[in-house]
C-alpha cells in the first residue's frame, strides 16, 4: 500500500527531541524525505549541540528513510532561508514545512527581562514567520511556473497562548500570534493551493518537564502497558494528516491533540453586543452596559467583581 507521504520532502524544525522528533519519525515512516532541523540548544535557548539532530537523522535512516541534518537557528531570517534551500538542494523540492522549534523562559511579567521576551518571541513567532516566508515564496514561484506542489505548512501553538497561562506572557503571546498567523497565511496562500494549519500539543517534552518540579510530577512516566496520555507520539498522526493529501481541503484550522482526543479550536468570537443608536458613547454610559455583558457571559476565572 502506498504510504501517505511517498515522494514528498519535509522540513521539521525543532526536531531533535520531543514533539518535533516524533513528527519527523512519523513523517519519514510515511515515505517523506526529511530535513531534520534543530539548533541543539537547552530548553531556555542557551547552548548548542549537534547530537540531538544527528541522532534523529540516524533514526530515520534506520527506518529505511532519507534524512539530512540542519543545525540552523530559525530565528535568523537568513539561516531559515538556508534550511529551505537545503531541502531543495538535497532532495530536489519542498512539499511540507512543520514549524515546531521553541524554547521557554518563564517569568512573571514584572520579573521578565527584555532578553527573555525577545528570545522567546524570536524563536517561536519570528522562527515560524522566517521559515514560512521562504517556503511560501518557493511554493508561489513553483505554482506560477505551473508546478503546483500543494504545499503544506503545519505550525505549532499552545494552550498557553489560546487560553493563557500565568508566567508565560512571552511564550503565550508568541503562541497566540502563531494561531492568528496560521489563519492569515492560509488566506494568502489559498490561491497557490497551499494549506496552512496549526497543531496544539500537550505532551511530555523538555518544555513541560524541565521547567518546574510540579510539572515534572504531573508529566511523570506512566506504568508500562498503560496508555500514556503525555506521549509526544500521540500528536504525530495529526501532523501527518495535515501534511498529506488527505488534508487538501483543510486550511486555516487549529487542532489540539491530548492523548487519544483531538479538538477543533476556533478563535475570538463575539459574545454579546450593545448599540448606542448613532450617538457616541460616554464612559459612564458604557459602565453598566459592559458590566451587564460580562455578568451575563460569566466572569473570567481569575477575575471577580470589585466590592
What is the set of active-site residues?
158, 171, 175
Q: What is the largest CA-CA distance in the chain?
A: 70
Angle at 278 between CA 273 and CA 280, to 5 degrees: 85
**CA pair distance 243, 264, nearest whole angstrom:** 17
Cell of 62: 534506520
Short-list 216, 190, 192, CA closest to 205? 216
Cα dihedral 156, 267, 235, 213 sign? positive
Amino acid at each position: 500500500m502506498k504510504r501517505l507521504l511517498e515522494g514528498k520532502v519535509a522540513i521539521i524544525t525543532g526536531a531533535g527531541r520531543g514533539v518535533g522528533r516524533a513528527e519527523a519519525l512519523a513523517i519519514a515512516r510515511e515515505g517523506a524525505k526529511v530535513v531534520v532541523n534543530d539548533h541543539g540548544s537547552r530548553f531556555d535557548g542557551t547552548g548548542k549541540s549537534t547530537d540531538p539532530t544527528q541522532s534523529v537523522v540516524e533514526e530515520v535512516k534506520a527506518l529505511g528513510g532519507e534524512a539530512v541534518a540542519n543545525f540552523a537557528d530559525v530565528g535568523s531570517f537568513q539561516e531559515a532561508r538556508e534550511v529551505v534551500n537545503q531541502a531543495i538542494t538535497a532532495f530536489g523540492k519542498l512539499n511540507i514545512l512543520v514549524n515546531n522549534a521553541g524554547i521557554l523562559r518563564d517569568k512573571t511579567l514584572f520579573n521578565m527581562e527584555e532578553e527573555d521576551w525577545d528570545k522567546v518571541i524570536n524563536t517561536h513567532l519570528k522562527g515560524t514567520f522566517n521559515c514560512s516566508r521562504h517556503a511560501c515564496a518557493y511554493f508561489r514561484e513553483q505554482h506560477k511556473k505551473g508546478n503546483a506542489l500543494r504545499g503544506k505548512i503545519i505550525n505549532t501553538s499552545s494552550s498557553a497562548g489560546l487560553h493563557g497561562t500565568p508566567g508565560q506572557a512571552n511564550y503565550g503571546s508568541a503562541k497566540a500570534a502563531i494561531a492568528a498567523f496560521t489563519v492569515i497565511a492560509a488566506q494568502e496562500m489559498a490561491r497557490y493551493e497551499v494549506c496552512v494549519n496549526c497543531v496544539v500539543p500537550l505532551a511530555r517534552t523538555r518544555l513541560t518537564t524541565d521547567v518546574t518540579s510540579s510539572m515534572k510530577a504531573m508529566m511523570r512516566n506512566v506504568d508500562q502497558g498503560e496508555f500514556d496520555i503525555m506521549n509526544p507520539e500521540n500528536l504525530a498522526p495529526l501532523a501527518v494528516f495535515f501534511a498529506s493529501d488527505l488534508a487538501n481541503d483543510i486550511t486555516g484550522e487549529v487542532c489540539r491533540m491530548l492523548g487519544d482526543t483531538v479538538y477543533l479550536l476556533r478563535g475570538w468570537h463575539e459574545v454579546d453586543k450593545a448599540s448606542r443608536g448613532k450617538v457616541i458613547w460616554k464612559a459612564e454610559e458604557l459602565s453598566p452596559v459592559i458590566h451587564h455583558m460580562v455578568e451575563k457571559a460569566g466572569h473570567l476565572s481569575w477575575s471577580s467583581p470589585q466590592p
